[in-house]
Structure 1
Amino acid sequence: MRSLWLMLCLGLLAFSQVRAQDENLDDLDLGDIAEFDENDEEFLRLLEEKSKNQDVERENELASKLAEVQHNLLNPVVEVDPCETMHCGAGRICQLNEDKPECICIPDCPKELEIRRHVCTNKNETWSSDCAVYQQRCWCDIKDPGCLHPDNAHLHIDYYGACHEPRTCDGEDMKDFPRRMRDWLFNVMRDLAERDELTEHYMQMELEAETNYSRRWSNAAVWKWCDLDGDTDRSVSRHELFPIRAPLVTLEHCIAPFLESCDSNNDHRITLIEWGACLELDADDLKERCDDVQKAVPHLLG
């Protein structure tokens, strides 16, 4: 019986490789194990207590590791590409420079062999693609050697397709154009409202225009101006006028000279006051109420 107890004790001691925390167990001398008689039960009790302590420690360690894994799963460390939140205008792409995002000109544009991809600029020049036009604008803006002419910094697309002989906008057509433009803007705003494709803010403006005739044209003018102001700098560039100009230029031959006339100070940007004056609206009726128009479902003709 004594040898059985001895083998059990030795096996338990060999199995344990962690330093005993219990001082009583540390003081045991294996050479004296043969002398144990009445103290055998106390010795086994100490071994059992040590084993329980080790089990608790292992369980706590496993629980701690499990909690860490669960935390990492629920709160993963996501490396965000800085370029994902960097907005670059047309003709530019984001590139990291020493881990900092910066906008650079598009280095290469795909070669477009399809004539349908050609575009006509405000200089009545046919370019191979819209990318080529935007790239040229960027190069001229930063004075890159690829710039063909300094004026190309303000180059923009008039319409898609090769250039054709423009029709002349005579005096009477030009004189009546602001009225046609006002009506067109209101009708488009109303159509989008009927399709529930305006933000709540502009839905309210459209409803006001329906019930208050004096707000009909001014509300539509403010809505479209806000819609065109893509970079929300409270002015519309000639480039940002493209969504209006491109689809209408073949239908309304006065659209190009009309939009050019809106830039009264020739700074290549159109303020809300200039926009209203162009549409022959009273400046007092134009109240800037631009909300986050980018949240609207569509971007008209854009």
Structure 2
Amino acid sequence: MRSLWLLLCLGLLALSQVRADDTSDDIFGLEDIANFDEDDEEFLRLLEEKNQAKDVERENELISKLAEVAENQQNQLNNPVIEVDPCDRMHCGAGRVCQMADDKPECVCIPECPEESDVRRHVCTNKNETWPSDCAVYQQRCLCDTKAAGCRDPDNTHLHIDYYGTCHEARDCPEEDMKDFPRRMRDWLFNVMRDLAERDELTEHYMQMELEAETDNTRRWANAAVWKWCDLDGDTDRSVSRHELFPIRAPLVSLEHCIAPFLESCDANKDHRITLVEWGACLELKEEVLKERCDDVQNAVPHLLG
């Protein structure tokens, strides 16, 4: 009976040692077992305490690992790794899209424009040619600008939209009408500026320019001309491109048969850009009354007006 009890105790002790994977911290050894009787409650208590201690140790270790995993997950939620598409920071002009090339973003000509079946989406260009959409015009200009396949005419690098809709027959602008057009244009610019001021649709900077034009006749036409020139200069490069003239050309082309030749005449040196001096000369304003006052220019490096 005593030998059977000893074998049972040895088995339990061996099992506890295997589960702990470490015998260095045993509470008692084999020689201690011999000192206990089979009915010794102290022996059973110590054995149970040892097993409980090992169980608690394993539970604590498991809880610690679970807490570490939870902390890592929370850190990932609080500090997520956001992958930024380089193309999101790349601004491409009209007719161009961003694509990755050798892990670097670059602007390329838009590969395909959507088909437009609605004739109201057609556009008329400065060549008095009808194109299916504004996208098609911008795409063509890009292809010619980059000398890519698909360019129909090298001159299309300067292709721009005159107005939306199918081209209508161009009307001639008689010399007499052209002669009077700058005056009517000055008057129209001032009236538009005043109307926007009355509707509180001008920035504070331009509101001040409009008030000055209202109270000082010497600034009446000049301020209106400078305001519109600054307004048209979308890329703020201190010149207005043929493309940037679209907002002023498109709404007037059906009403003013002289608007197209008038704007063409403003580009005196034919570089497809209109400086403030060229704009003023076109409106028959003296250079000395022109003063660049675009509100986005602050402490800029001085540059020539012409």
- Mapped to 2, the partners of 1:199 and 1:138 lie a distance apart of 34
TM-score by length of 1: 0.76
- Mapped to 2, the partners of 1:162 and 1:198 lie a distance apart of 33
Q: Contact between 1:174 and 1:254, CA under 8 Å: does it hold in 2?
A: yes
Q: Contact between 1:178 and 1:280, CA under 8 Å: does it hold in 2?
A: yes
1:93 matches 2:97: yes
Residue aligning to 2:137: 133
- Mapped to 1, the partners of 2:258 and 2:101 lie a distance apart of 45
- Mapped to 1, the partners of 2:51 and 2:278 lie a distance apart of 92
Offset from partner CA, 1:162-204 (integer Å, 9 cap, x none): 2222222223322222232223223333333444434444344
Residues 51-130 of structure 1 aligned to structure 2 (within 5 Å)? 61-130=65-134
Q: For structure 1, which segment, 34-43 or 107-116, has the greater mean C-alpha deviation from structure 2 after superposition? A: 34-43
Mark the CA change 1:78 to 1:276 in structure 2 (over 3 Å): closer, same or farther: farther
1:272 matches 2:283: no
- Mapped to 1, the partners of 2:291 and 2:133 lie a distance apart of 37
Return the match for 1:164 from 156, 163, 168: 168
Q: Contact between 2:116 and 2:132, CA under 8 Å: does it hold in 1?
A: yes
Offset from partner CA, 1:201-246 (integer Å, 9 cap, x none): 4344444444444434333333322332222322221011111111
Question: Any unmatched runs of 5+ in structure 1?
Answer: 293-302
CA RMSD of aligned residues (A): 3.6
CA-CA distance at 1:18 after TM superposition: 7.1
- Mapped to 1, the partners of 2:119 and 2:127 lie a distance apart of 19
Q: Contact between 1:276 and 1:286, CA under 8 Å: does it hold in 2?
A: no
Q: Look at both structures and tell me which one has the larger radius of gyration over its CA atoms.
A: 2
Matched to 2:130, the amino acid is: T
Mark the CA change 1:55 to 1:278 in structure 2 (over 3 Å): closer, same or farther: farther
TM-score by length of 2: 0.75
Return the match for 2:291 from 255, 278, 286: 286
Q: What is the number of residues matched between the two proteins?
A: 282
Mark the CA change 1:53 to 1:88 in structure 2 (over 3 Å): closer, same or farther: same
CA-CA distance at 1:273 after TM superposition: 2.2
Residue aligning to 2:241: 237
Query: What percent of counterpart residues are identical?
Result: 67
CA-CA distance at 1:155 after TM superposition: 1.2
Residue aligning to 1:26: 25
CA-CA distance at 1:267 after TM superposition: 0.5
Offset from partner CA, 1:47-104 (integer Å, 9 cap, x none): 8888777776666555544443333223322222222222212221211112211111
Mark the CA change 1:58 to 1:84 in structure 2 (over 3 Å): closer, same or farther: same
Residue aligning to 2:302: none
CA-CA distance at 1:264 after TM superposition: 1.0
Matched to 1:82, the amino acid is: P
Q: Contact between 1:201 and 1:291, CA under 8 Å: does it hold in 2?
A: no
- Mapped to 2, the partners of 1:71 and 1:50 lie a distance apart of 32
Return the match for 2:194 from 186, 190, 195: 190
1:176 matches 2:180: yes
- Mapped to 2, the partners of 1:216 and 1:73 lie a distance apart of 60
Return the match for 1:262 from 260, 266, 276: 266
Offset from partner CA, 1:5-48 (integer Å, 9 cap, x none): x99xx79x95996777xx9x725455466358989999998888
Matched to 2:25, the amino acid is: D
Offset from partner CA, 1:127-171 (integer Å, 9 cap, x none): 222222222211111122312221111111111222222222223
- Mapped to 2, the partners of 1:197 and 1:246 lie a distance apart of 21
Residue aligning to 2:252: 248
Matched to 1:83, the amino acid is: C
Matched to 1:286, the amino acid is: K
Mark the CA change 1:32 to 1:97 in structure 2 (over 3 Å): closer, same or farther: farther
